[in-house]
Every structure is written in C-alpha cells, then in structure tokens.
Amino acid sequence: MLPTLMVVTLFQAGPPAAFLHEHQLATQHRALARALPRQPGAFGPLLTPALDFQAYDVDLQWDFRTGAVQGSATLRLSGLDATSGHVAFIVDSGVTAFAALTPSGPKLVQRQGLGGGLDFLDVATGATTDDLTLTLTWSGTLQCGSAFGAPMCARGAQPFVWLDHGSGVPLPYDPVSGFTTDTLRRSWVLHTPRGFAVRAAGDLVDAHDTATEHVTRWATGGPVALALNSWLVSGTALEERVTALPEAVVVSTASAQAPDVAAFVGRILPLEAQRFGPRASATVSQVIVPQSSPFIGTASHAMTLLNESYAALGPTLHEEVWAHENIHQHFAVRAYPADTAVESLLTEGLTTLLELDYTHRAKTGLARDLALAARQRELALVHAYQYPQALDLPLLLTDDAQVPADPYLYNAWAYFKGAATLEVLRLAVGEAVFDDALNRYLRACDAAPCTVATFRGALEAASARPLGPLFQRLVSEAHRLQVTVGFEGATVTLDQGSAGPLPLELWLTLDDGTLQRERWELTAARESRTFSTLRPVRSVRLNPRLEGLVRADPATAGDVDFDGEVDGFDLISCARLVGHRVREGRGERAGIWGYDLDFDRRCDLDHDGTLSAADVAALPFNTLRSSP
C-alpha cells in the first residue's frame, strides 16, 4: 500500500469522517513500513533497492460478494545476491493458501502476522546472479481487516467495493528500500462475477463474458512505481458512463454527479496534457466513490477516485478537486517521488499550486494575479489563525517520523505551505520558466526516481541560475518569513528581520493608478532601493501572491492599503468587512477550507478571527504623511 495522495477538503467544526479516513490512508503506509521485517541495517525508500523488480503478471478470480479470491502470477526480478536470496510479500490474512515456485522447484514460504488482517510472507528463493521468474499461487477468503487504520479491500454484495495489491494480490517489497520506487510492468486478467462492472488501475486491453464470469485484461503499458496503488473496483451497482474523451470513462454507482464529472474531466484532461505532456497511461478511469463509502479516493495509475462528498464544496471547487487528483496523474503517477512522506512538496505542493492555476485558467495579467492572490490569502489565513506550526516544519524532512500526525496540520504543511513556497519560486523565475522546469522535471522522472534535488536541478536548468541557497532557506529549513514595507517617495525599504535570500516582486502604484512591477532579490536583513518612476508613488506593497508564505506588513501600523498612512481609505476598507469571520467564507468568496477570501488580517487588530467595529475604532487614524 503506498502513501495515498490526499486532497484538501472542507474545514468544519469537527473533521469530516471521510477526511479522517483519507489521512488514515496516508499514514497507513508509514505504519506498515515500520512493521515490516527487513534486513539488518539501514532501511528506507531513499536507499538503493536490493532487488530489481521487472514485471508482475496476475491472473485473479475475485468474487467481491463473498471475498473469495484465487490467483496465480509470475514475478520477474533480479538482484538475488548472497546478501538477499529472499523475496517478501504482504497479503490479506484470509489468503491461507500460498505457494511459490521457481524453475528449480517449490520454495519454502514462511508466514508472519503483521496485524490488522495482513500477513508477511517470506519466500526463500536462494541467491542467484541471473534473472529469476517466480511463479505464485494463492487462494482464500479476504478478511479486509483494519490494515493499520485503512482497509485495503472491501467485500460483500455492496454497491461499491475495492481491492488493492497487498490484500487479494500479494504485494512484493524490497528488503532494503521497502515500498521501493523501482518500476515494473503490471498486467491483470480479472475474473469477476458476470453482470457487474469492474475497473482496474491500468489500460483495458479486452473484455468478454463467459456463462458465469466477466473476464477483463488490463496492463500498465509501461513501467510504473512498485509502490503505487493498484486498485480494482467493482460492486453490485457500479456502472460506466462514456465521456467526450476516448481516454476517460466515468465510473459510479449511478451517481447524480456523473454528468458533471464527465464535463469536468472533458476540460481537465486535455488542458493538463497540453501543459505537461503525456500521462503514464493511455486512459484514466474517473471513479466517483459513493458518499456512504468510507473510501475517500486517491490517484493511481490510470485511475482517479474521489468521494461524492466533495460536491459540498460547490461546482467550482468540486471541479478544482477533480483537477487536483487528475493533475496527480502527472505529478505522482508519472513522476513518483523517491519518498512521498518526506518530499510531499513534489506531490501535494505542486498539485495544489496547479489546481489553483486550473480554476483561474481563463484569467491573465493583473486579473490572474489578484485571483491567485485571493487563494494564497486562504493559505496565509490558515497558517496565521489555525496552524502556524506548519511554518516551523521544513518541506524537505529528514525522517518520516517528522510528518504531522494531525490530518489538518498535515494539510496546512504539505498542501498549503508547499503550494505557497512554490508560488514564491515561480514568481522568482517567471511563469514560462517555471512551466519549462516542470516539464524538465517530468522528463527526468521518467528515467529515475524523483527527489527535491531533481526538481531543483530542473528549475536551475530552466532559469540558468543557481538556486541552492534559496532552496536551502525555503525548502530544507523552516522560517516564518515576514517583510515590512516602507517608502519615502520612490525610495523603498524592506525589512525581513534576518539575512537570507528572498526573491520578491514589488507593486508600486503611482498617483495616476499605474502599476509598476519591480523585482527585488532581498538578501540582507534590511535593504533600501530607489526606483525610477514616471509619476509620484502612492503606495508600495508586495505582489499579494507572495503572501501565502511571506507575511507582509506596512511600516506604518494600521496602514491597510500600504500607502504609508492610516487614513479614511483604511477605515473604509476595514469597515466594509465588519462582521466577517475568518473561517466563514461566503459563496464564491470561500476557499477550499471555507476560509473567507475577503478577510484582511491587517484589520483584525485583536487577532480573534472576527472583524468588528472595535477593530475599526482601534485603527491609529490620522497618521497622515505629506503629499508627494
């Protein structure tokens, strides 16, 4: 079971059950990895694997109504040197019959319970320098236990059921790197009850029916990460709906959302393919998980799954979350990081940034800046009012034990801080250069497991500039970045409190309303610079897209609009927001967590999350400056 790729959800008074389940899926991998037997010494996904898995071809009979499974498979691999000589698997404890065979004969299999309805199987293959083909057979009735907090299968005559490798299909893992990013080709022949639809995490090769079975063949087409989920979904009410795209089928239990999702993916898939090139699969099944199911959804090879509950976000954000999961087909499925736990920047950070791009794709210029800034404002508000500790955790961790256990803190760190940091990097190098870097990164990931170093290398190559110190500060270290902005005439002073690289874009508004943009690579704790302008400067602020990560404040306390004084404009700006609450967004002005995108923390002088008349009265009015 891989660490599931989570999506953001509504922030409510209590965590939604579906969201909690989703976080369980993300943490299950780490708990399972810690429970696995392994060779003495170092163990972890960033280490060089001991084994080289090449292909895994499965033939499975699966009656989801009873949980009965019977399967056979061939696993081709190499690397069984004198230090290994073993191949290990995880499987559902209900799979009681398991045998392994090599060309030299049957092999000894030792079984050990892991807990949660899962067992560990060790196959003593013996050391060899040659490639090895291991033939497996198994059968039993799936228990579908807790599996460290997130069941890897469901059974029974239910509308929607699922099965993953590691439950009804033995999941191999490496004795050194665990759920390795080693890639292998996969194929399945599935025998399921006739009359019920089934989808697998691969491209459909062919299908036919016998008197009692629905037989389908699936394949990945190319190598995929061993750690990536291989979901099979079926059920008594599962049905398929074609879309305008030959590569997409919407699968649901007669969900009323199916027409909307078909329209969503008709827009999402072509746009993202145009921007980022081919996906790892020729097709992508779009699975609408019923709201009654505890399964929240994820992204897998050739499959995107999302629970119906996300429709509560409203049509725009509902489509955005489908975009998020489908963008994972590029940044998680095609480009699978070496360690998703410690390098979530490469999955959740990138995908959150790009989902915002998708929603505001029709906007250009200043309108796009302001739309993206509003969404970055929500990220800043979450950090300011709910989870400031997310800013104290580096985006590049040294150990998965550092990953936040609290699901919302994880969200605020991996998704929100990650996306906000990437926005700073994007503005530093420019939009076109950043997109070029993303495509360079994807191509690099086609050849080898991805790391933050891979992404940094792609960004350095695209921008033709070294970025080591900047990545060190923004990614490897944790800082609560804040900048105070002051100006006199056309001379601007920025104060960040301590020295360090920080790329910024200034917005100078002139007295005729003209907006002048200026790049500034801040390095010292305090710097001043005089700009050439055609008209007197009326206000100076940072591009608000930066404020998801960089807390920007005026040098004059209470100066909401950054014009160097507290005047009637500031009073009016804050008075218009009286009654707004930071976590009670309204309609289209609500963010993905329901935060108020119009809320201005600079008006909230008592920092209680509510903008009141008392806040407005407390503004230090009449700190006026002389006219320019």
DSSP string, 166-199: TTTB-EEEBTTTBS---EEEEEEEEEEETTS--E
Question: Which residues is 98 bridged to in the sheet?
Answer: 138
Distance CA 552, CA 563 (A): 14
Residues (pLDDT < 70) of the chain are 1-47, 80-84, 179-181, 622-628
- The C-alpha torsion from 246 through 229 and 119 to 180, rounded to 10°, is 130
> 247 exposed, middle or buried (CB, 10 Å; 0-12, 13-18, 19+)?
middle
* 592 and 378 Cβ atoms separated by less than 8 Å: yes
What pLDDT does residue 128 have?
77
Sheet containing 161-163: give its strands across: 161-163, 232-234, 199-200
Distance CA 421, CA 456 (A): 13
Question: Which residues is 204 bridged to in the sheet?
Answer: 218
**Nearest 5 degrees, angle CA 42-CA 47-CA 51?**
100
Q: How many helices (H) and strands (E) does the chain have?
A: 12, 28
* 38 and 175 Cβ atoms separated by less than 8 Å: yes
What pLDDT does residue 296 have?
77
Closest among 288, 296, 204 to 241, alpha carbons compared:
288
Question: Which residues is 510 bridged to in the sheet?
Answer: 537
CA torsion through residues 523, 528, 533, 539, sign: positive
- State the pTM of this model: 0.93
Tokens linked to 23? 């976080």
Residue 451 has, within 13 A of its CA and on its CB side, a CA count of 11
Q: Decide: helix, strand or coil at residue 153.
A: strand
What pLDDT does residue 588 have?
84
Closest among 165, 212, 214 to 186, alpha carbons compared:
165
Residue 444 has, within 13 A of its CA and on its CB side, a CA count of 20
Q: Decide: helix, strand or coil at residue 482.
A: strand
Q: Output the CA–CA distances (angstroms, integers) from residue 45 to 83, 138, 393, 504, 585, in the order listed.
A: 18, 28, 21, 35, 41
Tokens linked to 200? 């697998």
Q: What is the CA radius of gyration of the chain?
A: 27
β-pair type (491-495, 526-530): antiparallel
What pLDDT does residue 447 have?
79
